[in-house]
Amino acid sequence: MNVCCYTLNNIPLIKRGDDIARIIIERTELKEKDIVVISSSIVAKAEQGLVRLDSHNPTTRAIEIAERNDADPRFVQAVLDNSKETLVESPFLLVELESGHICVNAGIDVSNTGDYNSVTLLPADADYSAEQTRGRLKELTGISTGVVIIDTNGRAFRNGQTGVAIGVSGIQAIHDWRGSPDLFGRTLEVKYEAILDEVAGFANLLMGEGNGATPIAVVQGLDLLSKKTSITELFRKPEEDIIRKALKRQKEIASINE
Amino acid sequence: MNVCCYTLNNIPLIKRGDDIARIIIERTELKEKDIVVISSSIVAKAEQGLVRLDSHNPTTRAIEIAERNDADPRFVQAVLDNSKETLVESPFLLVELESGHICVNAGIDVSNTGDYNSVTLLPADADYSAEQTRGRLKELTGISTGVVIIDTNGRAFRNGQTGVAIGVSGIQAIHDWRGSPDLFGRTLEVKYEAILDEVAGFANLLMGEGNGATPIAVVQGLDLLSKKTSITELFRKPEEDIIRKALKRQKEIASINE
């Protein structure tokens, strides 16, 4: 198997209302089954624009968490406003979003906004955003692609952040290996592979994080198109999530001890 | 940036003593700065061969855990024998290896061994294994490469497994973004990127899990060679690991309640 991944050059500073699909096709010639990977921050900028931190009035709870974490209370309030549940509150905020995605600070980012009073949120419905972009690419080029929207997140047990998928349209999220034989015809150990996150991580590596301005990548050579897909396939059910239950217990103990 | 990743074809069934570097160079022409990604199972097979499950005599503890987990007690004993610490014991075994790597079942695999009485362990010192292979590739070709040894692991909060690095030689594990400006010259949000795991995941995607027999991939076009590197850079210090502490507390509570 031979796969290539490249980034698009000269992406302009994205502002609200920008047509990301058009920006893509002006910079590359897509091929059938290409996977277009887009950084969540530019999707959010195109959809919502920047959000002012001072539009979030800190509650008592936000002020208290901010004090513990040495953070801006308005930022903490923004995180709480965009979270369904907090898994860890200190020394950092690990939360679950409405979508089911779990990440630090609800994915809210102060970088690449131009000032410390503006932030980008994650797209409200990243699957929908991916679908819109995929539809627009099809409309503009006639070509069927997959679209993945990614963010950079930390992990349990390991240092460093990696790219992960937060929205998808048109390609599989999980490959189901059940029923596939190993080299000797026996049952495979690995049942489910999160191929979408494996794509997301590599695209993130090429995109970089700073002022390289390469928030869009294309992966060419994979055959992963799928009509039926959702980012929710990647999220563990809370009742099946041992680690999440342990964090919940930890939080309960911490509040009893206060 | 434009990067390609390809798998090597027709890798034979690896047995103890096989020269993986020679197998690689007989199938591809490497270029300077190529990253060679190798599945841990073939490294282990070449170094140790297969390990018999019946060489692990189950202790009372292994029998008790096996009963709770509906598992083979000899397999559980093999996991315990190869672990430094257990983080979760039931419904599955999540352990820390001597190397510091944390994974389910100590990475012990029954797949691709030919029978259910044989298993592959992870390489005892995967950094050393990577270094040996890198040195051998240099000896055979004169070319400087990076070598990454990977396994497939589950993650917290998310379904599905992805490829992760468990050993490295010659390329960076973490990219340090501190001091790099964002688009507006301000401090970046992301400080450390686990680029090695982003490579590992993508290579794993191309390799597949089953009888495709593609346990070696080459990533071409990145510029990540580094003399000083170790897989330990990727492992969080236990005292800084919130999730690990929560699991430890959970385990303590479970044993108090017994």
CATH number at residue A86: 3.90.1660.10
Tell me: do B163 and B229 sit in the same domain: yes
The residue ranges of chain B whose pLDDT is under 50 are: none
How far is CA B240 from each of CA A130, A149, A183, rounded to the nearest angstrom? 36, 30, 41
Nearest-Cα residue of chain B relative to residue A202: B198
Closest chain B residue to A197 measured between Cα atoms? B162
Looking at residue B161, what DSSP letter applies? B
Question: Do the domain assignments include residue A255?
Answer: no
Contacts of A42 (CB under 8 A, 6+ apart): A11, A14, A20, A215, A216
Pick B3's closest partner by Cβ from A198, A206, A245. Answer: A206
Between CA A137 and CA A131 the distance in angstroms is 10
Compute the CA torsion angle B151, B154, B158, B162 (nearest 10 deg).
Answer: 20
Closest Cα in chain B to A14: B183
Does the residue A30 lie in any domain?
Answer: yes
Examine the domain organization and report whether B146 and B226 are in the same domain.
yes
Residue A145: per-residue pLDDT = 98
User: Which residues of chain B lie closer than 8 angstroms to A211, CB-CB?
Assistant: 180-183, 185
Exposure letters A230-254 (e unless 16+ CB within 10 A, then b): ebebbbbeeeebbbbebbbebbeee
Confidence (pLDDT) at B165:
98
Same domain for A110 and A56, yes or no, is: yes
Distance CA A93, CA A83 (A): 10
Closest partner residue to A210 among B188, B192, B205, by Cβ?
B188
B contacts of A183 (beta carbons < 8 Å) = 13, 112, 114, 210-211, 213
**Could you read off the pLDDT tens digit of each residue along chain A, which spans 258 residues?**
899 999 999 999 999 999 999 999 999 999 999 999 999 999 999 999 888 988 888 999 999 999 999 999 999 999 999 999 999 999 999 999 999 999 999 999 876 666 778 888 999 999 999 999 999 999 999 999 999 999 999 999 999 999 999 999 999 999 998 877 776 666 666 689 999 999 999 999 999 876 666 999 999 999 999 989 999 999 999 999 999 999 999 888 887 776
- Residues B244 and B180 occupy one common structural domain: yes
Sign of dihedral through CA atoms A73, A79, A82, A86?
negative
The CATH number that applies at residue A210 is 3.30.1330.100
Q: Do residues A64 and A182 both lie within one domain?
A: no
A217 and A228 inside one domain: yes
Q: Is residue A258 part of a domain?
A: no
**A149 shares a domain with A25:** yes
Q: What global pTM score does this model have?
A: 0.95
Do residues B110 and B136 both lie within one domain? no
Q: What is the ipTM of this complex?
A: 0.95
Write down which residue in A69, A104, A122 finishes a domain.
A122
Res B19: pLDDT: 98
Instruction: Report yes or no on B256 lying in a domain.
Output: no
Q: Does residue B255 lie within any of the structural domains?
A: no
Cβ of A157 within 8 Å of Cβ of B91? The answer is no
Q: Is residue A254 part of a domain?
A: no
Nearest CA in chain B to A220: B4
Structural domain boundaries enclosing A19 = 1-47+126-249
User: Are A13 and A61 found together in one domain?
Assistant: no
CB pair distance less than 8 Å for B194 and A161? yes
Q: Are residues A67 and A189 in the same domain?
A: no
Four-residue CA torsion sign, B150, B154, B157, B160: positive
Single residue among B102, B122, B142 that ends a domain in this structure = B122
User: What is the Cα–Cα distance from B97 to B86, expressed in whole angstroms?
Assistant: 9
Kindly list the residues from chain B whose CB atom is less than 8 angstroms away from the CB atom of residue A162.
193-194, 197-198, 201
For the record, the structure tokens of B147 come out as: 């070598």
Residue B241 lies in a domain: yes
The neighbour count for residue B121, using CB atoms within 10 Å, is 22
Q: Which of A7, A13, A186 sits opposite B111 (nearest CB)?
A: A186
Same domain membership, residue A38 and residue A116: no
* Structural domain contains residue B118: yes
Interface test with A, best of B158, B164, B230 (most A CBs within 10 A): B158
pLDDT, tens only, B126-164: 999 999 999 999 999 999 999 999 999 999 999 999 999
pLDDT at A117: 85
Q: Are A199 and A183 within one domain?
A: yes
Structurally, chain B folds into a number of domains equal to 2
* Closest-CA distance of chain A to residue B205, Å: 6
CB contact under 8 A, A159 and B180: no
Residues of B in contact with A4 (CB under 8 A): 2-5
Q: Do A247 and B244 touch (CB under 8 A)?
A: no
Where is the domain boundary, A97, A122, A147?
A122
Give Cα A16 to chain centroid, integer Å: 19
> What residue has token string 């510029």?
B223
CA distances, B90 to each of A192, B45, B56 (Å): 20, 29, 20
Q: Do B189 and A109 touch (CB under 8 A)?
A: yes
pLDDT number for residue B86: 96
Distance from CA of A136 to the nearest CA of B (A): 25
